[in-house]
Structure 1
Amino acid sequence: MKRTKIDMALRGDAARGDILVKGWVRTRRDAKDFSFLEVNDGSCRANIQVVADAGTDGFSFLKDMGVGAAVAVRGELVASPGKGQRWEIRAASLTLIGKADQESYPLQKKRHSDEFLRTIAHLRPRTNKYGALFRIRSEMAFAIHEFFHDRGFAYVHSPILTASDCEGAGEMFRVTSLGPQEGGLPEDERAAKDFFGKDAYLTVSGQLAAEVFACSLGDVYTFGPTFRAEHSDTSRHAAEFWMLEPEMAFADLGDDMDLGEELLKYLTGAVLTRCAADVELFASFVDKDLPARLEGIRDRPFERLPYARAVDILAGCGKTFEYPVGFGLDLQSEHERYLTEVHFNRPVIVYDYPKEIKAFYMRQNDDGKTVAAMDVLVPGIGEIIGGSAREERLDALERRVAERGLTMDGYWWYLDLRRFGSVPHAGFGLGFERLLMLLTGVTNIRDVIPFPRTYRHLEF
């Protein structure tokens, strides 16, 4: 007999009659000659009620089917006479697949703190909240691929190991095959003896690879893990996180802003329609304003303004900020949230930033002071997308590389793109975990990643 997912059964999509479901026991209530089991298989937020009596095959094993036990239930899917569910299973047989020791099983029928659940990340997906969160994560990853596939973008698998520092910030994890005995060698000798014959790092971005393929295949995107060795132990920083990085050939900053806005509207619409029950959980227990905020992102146009105007608004608003405001200073989260939540009450795209606070590869504007960069800011989060038109002029890019103290040799192939058929191109990066924080109202990045890797923390 083919196994039926519980979400299909509860929606009424499963055929009436005999079905087989497999999952984990959430609760069990016993009476004299029968029992009620709530079983969940992770396919949806809701459990399915199983009614078993003394005549059910396997009823004698019921005492071992405690909370957390894995079971298989075969029976008839029938309309439920009880409140709270449309359908239930009248069990014909029960099979205990995996017993859960009731003395030590840490998930009981009560609310556990997020801090506690981080210590048992191997079990927290079984809770209502984290089951919902990781279903949303899965659905949004699929929606991202769907969005770009439908628009003719090619998916590029960018390398995880690299010799290039894309951001120029130096916060990179070195990767080595050398043992401790070689650690004391001079730097040049150590690098020469290493696996690649040079220093290797975990990538901080797939952007440079995306630019290569944009200059060959047209519109492309990368989507994968990235790594940054920031010594930050905040609710917004992680050492390993996923980045979505589309790149468009023959495109400018306006195209970049249009794509970022279209993508966020698409994804918020997708989560509201495809994950309605899971979003409802977060609206009930995490952030009551979540549905209205997501509907606003989906339905209302984004505000767009240059960085200089944004600074003027912040400087003249009369509010005292923790961090100073002024031309040439980067916007902080408190500034971004003021613009989106107070002044405009909608998402905001800020563009044309001072070149000193942006990366070397961003296209310099004609004023000589700013670059064609943009950040998409959203309520509750602040910056969620950062992007730019790329500097496609060889001489201008060489000057920027030199200004930042980077080596031409390290970027010879990147400079080659400007020598051989260079075209205007633009792209951005969207932090997938920040997107999930936006879509769920969760405020700590550790809670939207299956196994968070953060400063001083490497478990599971």
Structure 2
Amino acid sequence: MSQGIDLLHTSPDENVTRSHEQRTRPPGVWADPEAHLTAAVEHHWYRAVTAINASIVNSTSSFYQSRNISPVLMPVTVSSVSSPMGLGSDSLPVQIDLMGDRTYLADSMQFQLEFMLRHGLEGAYYIMPTFRGEDADQTHLNQFFHSEAEIRGGQDDVMSLVEAYLGALTEGLLEGSVGNQVERCAGTTDHLEALLKQAEFPRITYDEAQDLLGSHAFTLKAPGAPAITRDGEQALIERFGGAVWLASPPSITVPFYQRVDKRGRAHSADLLFGVGEVVGCGARHITGKETRRALVDHSIAESEYTWYVRMKEDYPLETAGFGLGLERFLLWVMQHDDIRDLHVMPRIAGTRSWV
């Protein structure tokens, strides 16, 4: 278990006391389509969101280009659901009828990224919408944007990639007018500057976290499938100074496609900071045999993943990847506490959208 340093954890209330005279606050009218239409055009908060998103997209492109990781174009529908699939998940895939065919809106295109690496690429990435069957609240959206990448290599490789990527995004957000926008909304850029001082984030395993926090910080989603609570995530964030990897969960709590060690722990990790989990990453099964065994262990019918298993059998390859939720990252960047304020064009189940 690595120890952290108190660099990244800054609450919105603390920012108020050490910021400029006034912070820009969101209008909070995402549930009112008529009021939001005006706010989305006129309010500085949404202009700042647009500028910050542009910086993230530009920094993402530059970062991956420097590492010979290729952008790829993906559809928005899938026949095989990748995530959420673990017993620890609180959401469901979104099934639709598309011209008479049963299909799903993209929850993640991780499988397709794995497929693209069979073209000889060193890595592949995209930023695109993700759809989840869950109710929106202050920390969850049923439609959000995902920055995902898949590379050749293992779990340590992808964790290092995530840390470097976050550094590149943060550098971009501190530059010029974008940095001014962040400071106006967040009240400070100290948290961004602090992140750049860390070469890597501390790591703790699930077993270590359970010993450290006690069973009250975890809930059983199913027998043998403990999932950390939101309070548990915040306790770890506080303990490690603002950002920490929570690694090696029991394999049954994560999707079937993550590699498993001899102790039944998955080759995966979540990066916790700000609101909680912002990044999830993991190494994938290499062979068809491993993948089949995992499907059985997770009680999932192989018929739903025939093409994926065949890919592993015919073209085995060691890969690992991650997904970063953009709006959760923006919550931390802007030191805000309601993720529903981060869409210029809201898409929230049960709320009509005009824009």
2:209 maps to 1:315: no
Shift of 1:143: 1.2
The residue identity in structure 2 corresponding to 1:172 is P
**Residues 1:254 and 1:322: Cα distance change in structure 2 (over 3 Å):** closer
Which whole-Å CA distance do the structure 2 matches of 1:424 and 1:410 have between them?
22
C-alpha contact (below 8 Å) 2:72/2:126 kept by paired residues: yes
C-alpha contact (below 8 Å) 1:355/1:371 kept by paired residues: yes
- Which structure's residues are more often helix, by fraction? 2
- Which residue matches 2:194? 296
For each residue in 1:379-416, what CA deviation from the matched residue of structure 2 results, as whole angstroms up to 9, or x when unmatched? x2211100100011221210211233333232122112
Structure 1 residue matching 2:151: 3-state secondary structure: strand
Comparing 440-449 with 404-413, which one deviates more in the overlay? 404-413
C-alpha contact (below 8 Å) 2:30/2:340 kept by paired residues: no
**Residues 1:322 and 1:365: Cα distance change in structure 2 (over 3 Å):** closer
Which whole-Å CA distance do the structure 2 matches of 1:322 and 1:417 have between them?
36
**Residues 1:234 and 1:123: Cα distance change in structure 2 (over 3 Å):** same
C-alpha contact (below 8 Å) 1:133/1:440 kept by paired residues: no
Shift of 1:150: 1.6
Of all paired residues, the percent bearing the same amino acid is: 24
Mapping for residues 36-435 of structure 1, pairs under 5 Å: 113-115=27-29, 119=33, 120-125=35-40, 126-167=42-83, 169=85, 171-177=92-98, 194=100, 198-216=101-119, 217-230=121-134, 232-249=135-152, 251-274=153-176, 275-284=178-187, 290-300=188-198, 301-315=200-214, 328-340=225-237, 342-367=238-263, 369-378=264-273, 380-435=274-329
Shift of 1:152: 0.7
Q: Where do 5+ consecutive residues of structure 2 fail to align?
A: 1-23, 86-90
Q: Where do 5+ consecutive residues of structure 1 fail to align?
A: 1-109, 179-193, 285-289
C-alpha contact (below 8 Å) 1:265/1:299 kept by paired residues: no
Q: How many residues align?
A: 320
C-alpha contact (below 8 Å) 1:362/1:372 kept by paired residues: yes
C-alpha contact (below 8 Å) 2:46/2:344 kept by paired residues: no
Structure 2 residue matching 1:159: 3-state secondary structure: coil
Which whole-Å CA distance do the structure 2 matches of 1:457 and 1:203 have between them?
21
The residue identity in structure 2 corresponding to 1:331 is I
- Which structure's residues are more often strand, by fraction? 1
C-alpha contact (below 8 Å) 2:136/2:142 kept by paired residues: no
For each residue in 1:258-289, what CA deviation from the matched residue of structure 2 results, as whole angstroms up to 9, or x when unmatched? 011111122122112241210121133xxxxx
C-alpha contact (below 8 Å) 2:233/2:276 kept by paired residues: yes
The residue identity in structure 2 corresponding to 1:372 is H
C-alpha contact (below 8 Å) 2:95/2:102 kept by paired residues: yes
| TM-score, with structure 2 as normaliser | 0.83
The residue identity in structure 2 corresponding to 1:227 is F
Which whole-Å CA distance do the structure 1 matches of 2:337 and 2:26 have between them?
17
Which whole-Å CA distance do the structure 2 matches of 1:163 and 1:122 have between them?
35
Shift of 1:113: 3.5
Larger CA Rg, structure 1 vs 2: 1
- Which residue matches 2:335? 441
- Which residue matches 2:12? none
**Residues 1:408 and 1:414: Cα distance change in structure 2 (over 3 Å):** same
**Residues 1:327 and 1:295: Cα distance change in structure 2 (over 3 Å):** farther
Comparing 165-174 with 344-353, which one deviates more in the overlay? 165-174
For each residue in 1:215-234, what CA deviation from the matched residue of structure 2 results, as whole angstroms up to 9, or x when unmatched? 2222111221111121x231
Structure 2 residue matching 1:233: 3-state secondary structure: coil
